[in-house]
Structure 1
Amino acid sequence: MGRKAKHEDHINHEAWAIPYGDLVTLLLAFFVVMYAVSSINEGKMRVLSDAMVVAFGGPPRMIQPIEIGDLAPRRAIRESSLDLMSITRPIPHPAGLQADMPMARLPPQRSTQNAAHPELVELGADLERKLAHLVEEGAVRVHNGRDWLEVEIQADILFTSGSAELTPPAREVIAEISTVLAQFLYPLRIEGHTDNLPIRTVRFPSNWELSAARAASVVHMLRGGGVQPERMTVAGFGEFRPLESNATLEGRNRNRRVTIVVLADENVAPPQPGARA
């Protein structure tokens, strides 16, 4: 009986691929870990930065810590940085004011050149003469500043309730005003204001749209009376610039108005609504 043939063991020539794959996987994991470690945590960096600033005597960005020892060196460094802090300090915004509260009558900014403008005084006097009957009734008010003039017209004599269409008597009033304003070349800002009673129609979803549309109606009428359109801008403030409290009927009547602000110069800041000289 013959011997069985002895089978030769086959050598796996690709065995190296297993440790190579493990090595590549480990390298990939290593680089992922290194990348994660190298990423900067912004929050931690800010904490570290604040700690370093405080440690070296700079102005802290948190509650002032209790200082122990000689304060002179650190105080000198802190005082040297106050100018930079004042530049970056945010300006408070009067967002907390309620629309129902009357707005503070802040004085307007004044120009340093040509502070006296006798032509504005003459313009205001001319308007008061032409609208004397309305001025006596309180429907029109003329306020003179050093470099601005404000003509306040009650909206009740210009428009019907909830409308931006000028009534026929209102057109006569605006025509009188335009004949005076057309003689001068001062910039004009026409402002629309309402009370706080809400409006919600297809054309006027809110008092903003109503106030802007009313101011625009006056602008178109002034242009038809000869006032150059490039001199005029329109602003709609809605109920957010009241002169009186909206809690009373009289206050709401006063707050519904169109104001024509005449500026002595384009570089002069317009007065705050309701500001007086």
Structure 2
Amino acid sequence: MAIKKKEEECPKAPAWLTSFGDLMSLLLTFFILLYSMSIISLEKFYQVLKGLIEAFGGKQVIFSEGGALKASRIPIQFENMHMRVKKFAELKKEITKIKEELLSMGIEADYLVTGTCMKLRVNTNRLYPLGSEEPYPQAKELFLNMCSRLKPFSLPITFEGYTDNMPISNPRFPSNWELSAMRAVSVLRLFITCGYPQELLSAVGYGEHHPIAPNDTPANRERNRRIEFCIKLNP
């Protein structure tokens, strides 16, 4: 006896409809995500804004309303905004002028920005007698002139002394460490003489370490004998 197949109650949906349904679900999820991202948490916005201003050197954020943000238009006072924002271009311009003047005198010089420090790199071959920490008289005048031009910025400065790898050993300087440190200190003392705030000045000696050229030729060793003015952009 032949068996009769049971008739299907409803026909199967076409295959494309399954893919279409998945696409609609994904689109719905996407628009829900966009909507959730468009809602700004004012509390978190306040924390991010405060962090950014302090990172740029601002001392504080003053709102007309206390606590967290309660409105989208609240004036913020930026009178204590950091030098890096207000005076960076002026400082760079002055450093560039100093560099060009040094080059015109035959003194190798350059500047670079590393992190929060703008460095003025000055070769010491024409500024110090070989093996001495006492600069030439004309070099003293040069350092004093640089001090008078950098003093209006009132930024912390670290003087970094460097030498080549030629060993030195005498009663005054047992190694290049002492010589490089004393050269840095000699510039620091000149800046104090011209009235630069002492609390903003420091000196360090690196000796023959951190060379900018291989110590394999007399010319390269001359390049490594230098003083670097690390002008800190974040007081």
TM-score range, shorter chain: 0.5 to 0.7
1:213–1:121 distance in 2 versus 1, CA, 3 Å: same
1:242–1:130 distance in 2 versus 1, CA, 3 Å: closer
Runs of 5+ in structure 2 lacking a partner? 1-53, 58-81
| 2:170 matched residue in structure 1 | 201
Structure 2 counterpart of 1:132, from 100, 109, 113: 100
Q: Could you state the TM-score of these two structures normalised by the residue count of structure 2?
A: 0.61
Give 1:186's aligned amino acid.
L
Deviation for aligned residue 1:127: 3.3
Q: Is the 8 A contact 2:107 2:126 kept in 1?
A: no
Deviation for aligned residue 1:131: 5.0
Deviation for aligned residue 1:168: 1.1
Structure 2 counterpart of 1:119, from 67, 78, 87: 87
Q: Is the 8 A contact 1:157 1:169 kept in 2?
A: no
Deviation for aligned residue 1:157: 2.0
Q: Is the 8 A contact 1:195 1:253 kept in 2?
A: yes
User: Does residue 155 of the first structure (1) align with residue 124 of the second (2)?
Assistant: yes
Matches of 1:124 and 1:141, distance apart in 2: 12
Structure 1 counterpart of 2:232, from 255, 258, 263: 263
Local SS of the residue matching 1:234? strand
Map 1:1-277 to 2 at 5 A: 112-113=55-56, 116-136=84-104, 137=106, 139-144=108-113, 147-266=116-235
Deviation for aligned residue 1:145: 5.0
Of structures 1 and 2, the larger Rg is shown by 1
Runs of 5+ in structure 1 lacking a partner? 1-110, 267-277
Structural RMSD (CA): 2.1
Deviation for aligned residue 1:112: 3.9
1:119–1:167 distance in 2 versus 1, CA, 3 Å: same
In percent, how many aligned pairs have the same letter? Answer: 30
Structure 1's consecutive aligned runs of 4 or more residues displaced over 4 angstroms after TM superposition are: none
Local SS of the residue matching 1:159? coil
User: Which one scores higher on RCO, CA 8 angstroms, separation ≥ 6?
Assistant: 1
Matches of 2:219 and 2:85, distance apart in 1: 34
